[in-house]
Structure 1
Amino acid sequence: MTWRPPYHSSKFRHVYGKPANKENCYDGISITRSVQDNYFCSVNPKFIAVVTECAGGGAFYVLPISQTGKIDPHQPKVCGHKGNVLDIKWNPFDDYVIASSSEDSMVKIWEIPKHGVIKNITTSKQDLQSHSRRVGIIEWHPTARDILFSAGYDYRIIIWNLSSGESLISNPVRILDCHKDAILSMSFNTNGSHLVTSCKDKRIRIIDSHTGKVLQESNHLAHRAIKVVHLGNLKMILSAGYSKWNNRQIVLWDQDNISVPLREEELDGSLGVLFPFYDPDTHMLYLAGKGEGNIRYYQLTSEKPYLHFLMDFRSSLPQKGMGIMPKRGLNVSACEVFRFYKLVTIKGLIEPVSMIVPRRSDSYQDDIYPLTAGAQPAMTAQEWLNGFNKDPILVSLKPGSNNQQCITKNKSNDLCKLPDFIRRDHVAINAIQQKQEQTNTEKVHEQKRNYISNGYDLSEGPPPKTENELLQMFYRQQEEIRKLRETLAQKEVRVKQLELEIKNVRCSSIDF
């Protein structure tokens, strides 16, 4: 019988949550009292937006990310909706553009000044009006510029082309009219070709985002899904909701067959809606319950049992909603892999919570920061409308990654003082790093030729055809470097131990 460890081995097993100090929170905000099960907060590296209370209509704050502390009660707002604001989302490719939806059946696009909001903004950049009832959810396309999806309580999802400012209702395919009840949530796969939705009729649907055709529909009515997240790189879907016994439950589904769940996990009997957040870079899943302060986190794998509990962050401050910082806004020098912004209604507070990987070194950790989706769109709106799908453009989070340098002259001199077996490992690491840099900077067709000329064995599989395949190969090489570095660090520790032993022997002989 093969022995297996009692827990899942993971470099993220000891991730811990670190709440911000009071001076780094946002205090004195009148957070919306809406009962909608939305997040009410959206964050990017420049601004934090949060839905607030407003007499005679709907409004939200837009604060510079650095404007922490006590907020002026007369702080200017973005206002213009005639009903309560239900959802807000920053444009992933423009940090100064944000979309909002409201009970007034309108979707509005706002342009935020570079210096922030210094007076009330009442005139939107674009008004999108085609829904007949309130609009509860909006989502930007993950790879195409200026494509926005909105889901209303008229049971329809409408696609908007913001480059023209017009709804695409002239083409019936662009109105996704396949739901029989209110849409509760929606999520894209990695390249935005598929859209997964949860509906009040207890069904989960996978929809072709171009044609509106329902590709799959679940019939597992024992599970009532409230929120869904597409786990694109794992080819799975996660839904968070309630079991037939009204216990909170999460369910994993195979994206190619959602007729039968891969795994069902009942959590507890609480009533608060679960907010799921998925990090595709670390394969970590975070679950935050509405009305409670705790955040559970797991690591997902593509093999059974799929879901591995890691730990939970506990807090006495209950959250009404949450925002998350994009990866490009994290503090990588502190080994921060995720950051929440909790909306605490009872205190009028927004509390940042950082998820930290405990590491002794202050240097950049390659193994916990793989290449991630950047702020550059992979295609234009027209390309997507013409039927194209493209994966996101990946970037490195390493500081100064565009100007990577080899080992410095001083480090090269220090190599001469090391034992031969350590120096050989340093040389091997340096050689792999140089090969990485060459692979990452040359054009795709040049990279392919270099791999072939350097002895790339085509019999082991097809050569890389796209930039993403090359980047995946680049990431595998990074993993090899990490293992070499670990081996090297062990050898360096052994050298220091031997040096200390020699020193002790010499001291002993002198005393004698």
Structure 2
Amino acid sequence: MKLVFLTGKMSFRRGVVRQSKFRHVFAQAWKAEHCLDDVRVSRVTWDGPLSAVNPKFMAVIIEAGGGGAFLVVPIGKSGRIDQSSPTVCGHVAPVLDIQWSPHDDNIIASASEDCTVKVWQIPDGGLTAPMTEAVVTLEGHSKRVGILAWHPTAYNILLTAGCDNVIVVWNVGTGELVYQLADAHPDLIYSVSWNKNGSAVCTVCKDKALRVIDPRRGAVLKVREKVHDGTRPMRAVFLSDGKILTTGFSRMSDRQVALWDTKDLSEPMAIQEMDTSNGVLLPFYDPDTNMVYLCGKGDCTIRYFEVTDESPYVHFLSLYSSKEPQRGAGFLSKRGVDVNKCEIARFYKLHERKVEPISMTVPRKSDLFQGDLYPDTAGLEPALLAEEWIAGRDAPPLLVSLSGGYAAPPSKHRDTVRSKPALASQDSASGAPAAAPAAKEPEDEEPRAATRETCGNMERPKREDDILNELLSEMKALRAVVLAQSQRIELLERQLARIEDGDV
């Protein structure tokens, strides 16, 4: 006899067992000696995860007197955190959200009640002294900023949302505001999520509506009124197939999870009622396994589901339960999991004064690499430069294999091929950003040939077709920059017109 969840109702089916390699995912908390102790987790009332994790570092927003700070430690660190440990402490008000760049494990952004967003470059090995000077400070919001979302495939593109009901898209490399959506939301924005290739975002708002937005055009593509009837905060996340999963509350304050097809938002594909609790359900999505983990603030459980094309589409798998409630949680990107132990996900559960790792594994007897559990996943290499995305290009993530464990590409290759304006090469001694290098085309995957080629003992000038290809590439890059600047000028002219008309 099997318990099956069907759009909010439970029914019993005899002899029906759904085949899935993730039916027996096993959650296991790490031993006490592998936890972090004496971490003063922030008491801010913002409904965010309060933590961010990548294969190099773990960051946790902590209590800080007279300002805002977050702790950054190497991922393998454990034991007691001394109160004198250095922190990132450049904000003058509490930090509300932190997010690691998907394309550089040393870059992290932070959003604060001081209305600013700051981008930091963490040195390899972690902090040795308090960090107060950010690489970039982004100022454009008029109220506190609580949401950060890095573009999944374009380098240096960061989206922010604040309590001014405004969404802003930045080119972090230049520090420029490139797009601003001031009229799309009439009330507080609860969450923002990019789709797979970064061509659109989905948002949920205090007006209970789900919106699909093209940020480059500033256009709302789809709207669904009253995704959940309850008045408490909702969350939404884009799935890799274009569907959207939302969490929220019913009119009777029951927590719900729903699945929506963006082609038709008139009715949910599936909706399930979970339980009655005040904690906001934070969804953590793994596109490789198509699993969603729901972590409620103040809960003692983490539920996990598999999303498939078979009804009821959102399949409950199991839950992890413990005695202590969680204040928040960090979710490790797939590049950091232990493939030798068949670990498919890892959480870092925030207690009041402790951080506890929790591994999700699929039990297997074989010691060989389990390719069915680990399809190629998004790597560090960006598919696009910021200017290319701003100019209208879209591209899916560049994938890497996890066979034998993930190894980051040599930094020399990433620094020269993917030029990193402003964040590229930072002088480790002074902490000051280096001058921005010129943009290069993503097709240039190999270093350019020398100006003169050697043939035997003779040297000959570079062929004309090579020179022509270089010129065409440079023209293409310049055209993208010109288009981006034209769009920027158009945006500023619209803002100036609004000021002159007295709208601002």
Same fold by TM-score greater than 0.5: yes
Deviation at 1:311, TM superposition (A): 1.0
2:238 paired residue among 214, 230, 236: 230
Return the letter of the residue paired with 2:134.
Answer: S
Q: In structure 2, what is the Cα distance between the partners aligned to 1:303 and 1:289?
A: 26
Give 1:60's aligned residue.
Answer: 70
2:283 paired residue among 241, 251, 276: 276
* 1:435-464 per-position Cα deviation (integer Å, ceiling 9, x unaligned): xxxxxxxx9xxxxxxxxxxxxxxxxxxxxx
Q: In structure 2, what is the Cα distance between the partners aligned to 1:21 and 1:253?
A: 39
Aligned CA distance change for structure 1 residues 117 and 156 (closer, same or farther; 3 Å): same
Deviation at 1:176, TM superposition (A): 5.0
Aligned CA distance change for structure 1 residues 41 and 401 (closer, same or farther; 3 Å): closer
Deviation at 1:5, TM superposition (A): 4.7
Gaps of 5+ in 1: 403-442, 444-512
Q: In structure 1, what is the Cα distance between the partners aligned to 2:27 and 2:52?
A: 20
Aligned CA distance change for structure 1 residues 122 and 400 (closer, same or farther; 3 Å): closer
3-state SS of the aligned residue for 1:74? coil
Give 1:388's aligned residue.
Answer: 393
Return the letter of the residue paired with 2:144.
Answer: R
Q: In structure 1, what is the Cα distance between the partners aligned to 2:131 and 2:359?
A: 31
Are 2:20 and 1:10 equivalent residues in the alignment? yes
Give 2:256's aligned residue.
Answer: 249
Return the letter of the residue paired with 2:197.
Answer: N
Deviation at 1:114, TM superposition (A): 1.7
1:264 paired residue among 249, 271, 274: 271
Q: In structure 1, what is the Cα distance between the partners aligned to 2:297 and 2:17?
A: 28
Give 1:365's aligned residue.
Answer: 370
Return the letter of the residue paired with 1:306.
Answer: Y
Deviation at 1:302, TM superposition (A): 1.8
* 1:110-140 per-position Cα deviation (integer Å, ceiling 9, x unaligned): 1111231011111111111110000010110
Does the CA contact (< 8 Å) of 2:152 and 2:198 recur in 1?
yes
Give 1:214's aligned residue.
Answer: 220
Give 2:202's aligned residue.
Answer: 196
3-state SS of the aligned residue for 1:109? strand
Give 1:399's aligned residue.
Answer: 404
Gaps of 5+ in 2: 1-12, 408-445, 447-504
Give 1:413's aligned residue.
Answer: none
Does the CA contact (< 8 Å) of 2:101 and 2:107 recur in 1?
yes
Return the letter of the residue paired with 2:153.
Answer: T
With the length of structure 1 as denominator, give the TM-score of the two structures.
0.75
Q: In structure 1, what is the Cα distance between the partners aligned to 2:252 and 2:75?
A: 42
Give 1:411's aligned residue.
Answer: none
3-state SS of the aligned residue for 2:389? helix
Return the letter of the residue paired with 2:234.
Answer: I
Does the CA contact (< 8 Å) of 1:29 and 1:349 recur in 2?
yes
Aligned CA distance change for structure 1 residues 221 and 190 (closer, same or farther; 3 Å): closer
3-state SS of the aligned residue for 2:372? helix
Q: In structure 1, what is the Cα distance between the partners aligned to 2:306 and 2:323?
A: 24
Does the CA contact (< 8 Å) of 2:52 and 2:60 recur in 1?
yes
Q: In structure 2, what is the Cα distance between the partners aligned to 1:255 and 1:69?
A: 46
Q: In structure 2, what is the Cα distance between the partners aligned to 1:12 and 1:383?
A: 38
Return the letter of the residue paired with 1:227.
Answer: R
Aligned CA distance change for structure 1 residues 387 and 71 (closer, same or farther; 3 Å): same
Kindly indicate which of the two structures has a greater share of residues assigned to helix: 1
3-state SS of the aligned residue for 1:232? coil
> RMSD over aligned Cα, in angstroms?
1.6
Return the letter of the residue paired with 2:373.
Answer: I
Q: In structure 1, what is the Cα distance between the partners aligned to 2:227 and 2:60?
A: 34
Does the CA contact (< 8 Å) of 1:148 and 1:160 recur in 2?
yes
Does the CA contact (< 8 Å) of 1:226 and 1:240 recur in 2?
yes
Give 2:177's aligned residue.
Answer: 167
Return the letter of the residue paired with 1:244.
Answer: R
Q: In structure 2, what is the Cα distance between the partners aligned to 1:400 and 1:38?
A: 30
Does the CA contact (< 8 Å) of 2:338 and 2:405 recur in 1?
no
With the length of structure 2 as denominator, give the TM-score of the two structures.
0.76
Greater length-normalized contact order (CA 8 Å, ≥ 6 residues apart): 2
3-state SS of the aligned residue for 1:368? coil
Return the letter of the residue paired with 2:363.
Answer: P
Kindly indicate which of the two structures has a greater share of residues assigned to strand: 2
Query: Paired residues, what number?
Result: 394
